[in-house]
């Protein structure tokens, strides 16, 4: 969805009639992008990615057929096994797609997405799904209703997510786009470069830092999405940087090193005033217990742990094992 921001803004500024399409219900297809969405216009131009384009022509026709004055349309699409294979989808499937004119999507939605902040869109449709009202929702401490509560839950997962709620007045569609994780990598070298590449492959941001001042500045700027990966073994760098990340409450803090190095860091943190509970938040030794040996495998184990922690999944981490590190 974030990759559509510039196009949506341009089309709106040009006065072009465009529509935003995204699934509200899905069955089949195999693995799919939870952030998949498509922009179509009256001339048949399509921007974005939704089921590898297999429904693009159909969605263009549906958008053209939308009644004047309507602010929403839900259409059913399906694809068989043969056509799915030709489109390089894992398998066939069916979906209900919500189409909305860009004029019915709040401008604040595109502004906040463009800024990279975590934000949700709650769209309330009438019983015939011909009219809808969309509102932008940020994380709230006291949600006013089930839709806002669900938006907050989805934002808390740190991963794009969608859900359809069915109430007395019709469908309520919730779309959440948390801030993409931003990996702050303390230290340089081959492993740092591979972690950075892995993060970018996942659609995350990443930055390498070599001083406490650099790290603190980047962690503060990305506080809601920062993930610290400390590779350096320098006590003058790793302990104060990890302490700063813990104080800021960033979602993930991990540190590379042997069990001896991990114990040394923990002692340094406690000596600097970090509580036992805060020190326990540090993932060290870092990474999932995948049997990683090479730098590329280690980077995968680290990014996999970040993904699991941000999503709230219980997995076996190296810090929870007691054997020798490979």
Query: Per-domain residue ranges for the chain?
Result: 2-177, 182-320
Q: How confident is the model at residue 200 (pLDDT cuts 50, 70, 90)?
A: very high
pLDDT given for residue 71 in this prediction = 93
Nearest 10 degrees: Cα torsion 182, 186, 187, 189: -30
The reply to whether the predicted model has a pTM over 0.75 is no
Question: How confident is the model over 117-138, as a mean pLDDT?
Answer: 90
Helices and strands (DSSP H and E) totals, the chain: 11, 14
- Closest C-alpha to 105, from 7, 31, 200: 7
Q: Are 108 and 136 in contact (CB under 8 A)?
A: yes
**Percentage of the chain lying above the pLDDT 70 cut:** 97
pLDDT given for residue 260 in this prediction = 94
CA torsion sign for 219, 228, 154, 176 is positive
Q: How far apart are CA 6 and CA 12, in angstroms?
A: 10
pLDDT given for residue 140 in this prediction = 63
**Owner of token pair 């529509």:** 19
Residue 195, pLDDT above cutoff 90: yes
Q: How far apart are CA 63 and CA 18, in angstroms?
A: 9
Q: How far apart are CA 163 and CA 147, in angstroms?
A: 9
Residue 99, pLDDT above cutoff 90: yes
pLDDT given for residue 87 in this prediction = 87
Q: Return the CATH fold of 182-320.
A: Rossmann fold (3.40.50)
Q: How far apart are CA 34 and CA 22, in angstroms?
A: 10
Question: How confident is the model over 24-46, as a mean pLDDT?
Answer: 90
Report the DSSP pairing between strands 252-255 and 226-230: parallel
- The partner residues of 226 in beta bridges, in order of sequence, read 182
Q: How far apart are CA 123 and CA 172, in angstroms?
A: 6
Question: How confident is the model over 87-114, as a mean pLDDT?
Answer: 93
Q: Write the pLDDT tens digit of every residue in 216-252.
A: 999 998 887 899 999 999 999 999 999 999 999 999 9
pLDDT given for residue 322 in this prediction = 67
Residue 166, pLDDT above cutoff 70: yes
């Amino acid at each position: 969805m974030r990759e559509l921001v510039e196009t949506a803004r341009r089309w709106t500024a040009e006065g072009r009639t465009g529509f935003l399409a995204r699934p509200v219900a899905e069955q089949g297809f195999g693995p799919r992008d939870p952030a998949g969405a498509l922009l179509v216009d009256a001339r048949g131009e399509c921007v974005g990615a939704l089921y590898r384009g297999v429904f693009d022509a159909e969605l263009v026709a549906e958008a053209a057929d939308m009644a004047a004055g309507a602010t929403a349309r839900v259409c059913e699409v399906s694809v068989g096994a043969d056509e799915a294979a030709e489109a390089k989808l894992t398998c066939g499937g069916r979906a209900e797609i919500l189409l909305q004119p860009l004029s019915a999507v709040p401008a604040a939605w595109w502004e906040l997405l463009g800024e990279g902040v975590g934000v949700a869109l709650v769209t309330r449709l009438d019983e015939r799904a011909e009219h809808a009202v969309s509102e932008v929702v940020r994380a709230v401490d006291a949600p006013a209703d089930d839709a806002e509560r669900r938006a907050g839950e989805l934002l808390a997962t740190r991963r794009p997510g969608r859900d359809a709620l069915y109430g007395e007045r019709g469908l309520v569609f919730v779309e959440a786009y948390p801030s993409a994780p931003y990996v702050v990598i303390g230290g340089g070298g081959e492993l740092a470069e591979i972690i950075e590449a892995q993060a970018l492959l996942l659609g995350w941001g990443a930055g390498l830092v070599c001083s406490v001042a650099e790290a603190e500045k980047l962690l503060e700027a990305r506080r809601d999405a920062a993930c610290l990966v400390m590779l350096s073994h320098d006590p003058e760098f790793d302990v104060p940087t990890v302490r700063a990340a813990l104080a800021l409450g960033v979602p993930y803090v991990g540190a590379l090193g042997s069990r001896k190095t991990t114990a040394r860091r923990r002692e340094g943190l406690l000596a600097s005033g970090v509580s036992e509970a805060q020190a326990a938040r540090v993932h060290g030794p870092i990474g999932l217990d995948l049997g990683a040996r090479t730098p590329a495998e280690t980077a995968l184990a680290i990014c996999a742990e970040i993904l699991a922690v941000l999503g709230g999944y219980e997995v076996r981490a190296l810090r929870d094992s007691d054997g020798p590190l490979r």
